[in-house]
């Protein structure tokens, strides 16, 4: 399938991208050149794109951040931290498209960054919400007191899904579905925002966020959630489940 | 494709293309650069699917589009966008396709569109792609694309828009 031309016969943006990235075959390039020779509008778009390409790019900050921070937190140290008061909320229904985010209050403290892990059928993104922006958090990142965390989930097919958390005081709480248990969701081609969020308190330690997706309904026990090992091995819920774990270090800015 | 994902190389070569796409969604240069960072974080996360992609630029285009739409889907941002930009998600649509009516249509109904249909709608109405191109980009069948876009056209009739 060629991505050179749009339905109206003019160049697709992807066609221009292919040209600028020098990815086109000789035949495609000839076709494109022929069109450009007769279409001033498309030639102007190509010229504009070339000018933009010539501008300097900002440094790839997220890459630097990620490669540095992908090291897991020192769980041994943090595991038995202090106590956390967890208030949580949760809520609503899926999909950011419509819903106002309900926030929750949890405990914790530190400073976050990056994002998550991903499995074959399930991907989870944890991000810090700030006014008008969101910042993805990676497993092993820090988190700050009062941080509000939001979540995006993608499921490759309809699965039973649960998102739970455990604070540094080993209190386990449900994030999605808010009432606990699991809920049928998916498929989602792109990650969708859950209408639930949590807010971290200032208690130091590791906040563990675990997403599980299974073929059949399931109920996570506190013991299963708390059995997450120091190495980050998530509990075996049942056969055929995908799971993603994100640990946030509330003591590490 | 390289056997392993060299993110620096990828960024150097394709970052400007990605930024160009992002600027179609986010006109503020600072915000566009923030989104660029986010997209490349996502790229690193999705390196498996990247390795299977036919052309990096095509793969990055869809990743970028999805990411931008997800970001815009945030209620607050969406509201700001609609307030700020009014009529247009005015990115470089193909020269004579995808003018106001289609963009307006998407703007009017996109609250109601699921992510998959919204993405298809952008490819179809704004970028001017064919069903086959959209099918390849989104990984669904042409028939599915046709059916989904028919839903959009129905919706357009309801609101007096002009889906083609």
**For the segment B57-73, what is each residue's pLDDT rounded down to a tens digit?**
888 999 999 988 888 77
Greater model confidence, A140 or A30: A30
Binary contact (A45, B75; C-beta < 8 A): no
The rounded mean pLDDT for chain A is 70
Greater model confidence, B38 or A128: B38
Average pLDDT value for residue range A166-181: 82
Q: How many CB pairs under 8 A join A and B?
A: 164
Task: Pick B57's closest partner by Cβ from A21, A53, A123.
Answer: A21
B102, pLDDT greater than 80: no
Average pLDDT value for residue range A66-89: 30
Average pLDDT value for residue range A61-84: 35
Cα A2 → chain centroid:
31
Contacts of B80 in chain A (CB under 8 A): 132
The pLDDT > 70 percentage for chain A reads 69
Contacts of A115 in chain B (CB under 8 A): 41, 45
Domain B1-86 adopts which CATH fold? Rna Polymerase Sigma Factor; Chain: A (1.10.1740)
In chain B, where do the E strands start and end? none
Binary contact (B16, A63; C-beta < 8 A): no
Contacts of B29 in chain A (CB under 8 A): none
Report the gap between the CA of A195 and the closest CA in chain B (Å): 11
Greater model confidence, A104 or B6: B6
Residues 197-216 on A with a CB inside 8 Å of B are: none
In angstroms, the Cα distances linking A59 to A62, A65, A72, B25, B36 are: 9, 11, 25, 21, 10
Report the gap between the CA of B154 and the closest CA in chain A (Å): 20
User: Is ipTM strictly over 0.90?
Assistant: no
Closest-approach residue (CA) in chain A for B18: A17
Highest mean pLDDT pick, A182-196, B10-24, B51-65 = B10-24
Binary contact (B16, A52; C-beta < 8 A): yes
Tokens found for residue A142: 């820090």
Q: Which CATH architecture has domain B91-164?
A: Orthogonal Bundle (1.10)
pLDDT (0 to 100) of residue B131: 92
pLDDT band at B81 (very low <50, low <70, confident <90, very high): low
Greater model confidence, A75 or B63: B63
pLDDT (0 to 100) of residue A75: 27
Average pLDDT value for residue range A148-176: 84
Q: Where are the domains of chain B?
A: 1-86, 91-164
State the virtual CA torsion across A232, A236, A241, A243 in degrees, nearest 10: -20
pLDDT (0 to 100) of residue B36: 93
Average pLDDT value for residue range B113-137: 88
pLDDT (0 to 100) of residue A187: 77
Closest-approach residue (CA) in chain B for A16: B17
Task: Pick A97's closest partner by Cβ from B19, B96, B111.
Answer: B111
How far is residue A76's CA from residue A74's CA, in Å, rounded to a whole number? 6
């Amino acid at each position: 399938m060629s991505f050179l031309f749009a339905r109206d016969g003019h160049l697709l943006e992807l066609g221009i991208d292919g040209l600028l990235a020098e990815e086109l075959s000789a035949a495609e390039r000839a076709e494109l050149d022929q069109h450009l020779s007769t279409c001033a509008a498309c030639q102007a778009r190509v010229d504009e794109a070339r000018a933009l390409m010539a501008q300097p790019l900002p440094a790839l900050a997220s890459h630097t951040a990620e490669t540095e921070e992908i090291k897991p937190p020192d769980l041994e140290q943090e595991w038995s931290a202090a106590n956390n008061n967890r208030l949580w909320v949760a809520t609503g229904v899926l999909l950011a498209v419509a819903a106002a985010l309900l926030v929750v209050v949890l405990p914790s403290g530190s400073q976050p960054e990056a994002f998550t892990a991903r499995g074959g059928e399930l991907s989870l993104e944890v991000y810090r919400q700030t006014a008008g922006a969101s910042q993805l958090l990676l497993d092993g990142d820090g988190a700050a007191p009062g941080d509000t965390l939001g979540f995006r989930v993608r499921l490759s097919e309809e699965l039973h899904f649960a998102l739970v958390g455990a604070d540094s005081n080993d209190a386990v709480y449900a994030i999605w579905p808010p009432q606990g248990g699991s809920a049928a969701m998916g498929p989602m081609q792109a990650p969708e925002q859950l209408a639930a969020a949590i807010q971290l308190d200032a208690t130091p330690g590791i906040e563990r966020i675990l997403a599980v997706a299974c073929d059949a309904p399931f109920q996570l026990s506190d013991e299963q959630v708390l059995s997450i090992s120091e190495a980050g091995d998530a509990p075996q819920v049942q056969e055929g489940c995908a799971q993603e774990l994100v640990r946030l270090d509330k003591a590490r800015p | 494709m390289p056997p392993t994902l060299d993110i620096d190389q990828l960024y150097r070569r394709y970052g400007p293309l990605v930024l160009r796409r992002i600027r179609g969604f986010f006109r503020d240069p600072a915000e566009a650069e923030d989104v660029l960072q986010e997209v490349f974080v996502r790229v690193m996360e999705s390196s498996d699917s990247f390795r299977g992609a036919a052309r990096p630029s095509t793969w990055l285009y869809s990743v970028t589009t999805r990411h931008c739409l997800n970001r815009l889907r945030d209620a607050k941002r969406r509201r700001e966008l609609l307030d700020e930009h009014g009529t247009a998600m005015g990115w470089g649509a193909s020269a004579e396709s995808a003018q106001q009516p289609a963009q307006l249509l998407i703007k009017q109904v996109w609250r109601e569109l699921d992510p998959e249909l919204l993405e298809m709608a952008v490819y179809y109405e704004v970028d001017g792609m064919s069903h086959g191109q959209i099918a390849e980009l989104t990984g669904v069948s042409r028939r599915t694309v046709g059916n989904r876009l028919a839903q959009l056209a129905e919706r357009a009739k309801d609101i007096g828009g002009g889906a083609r």
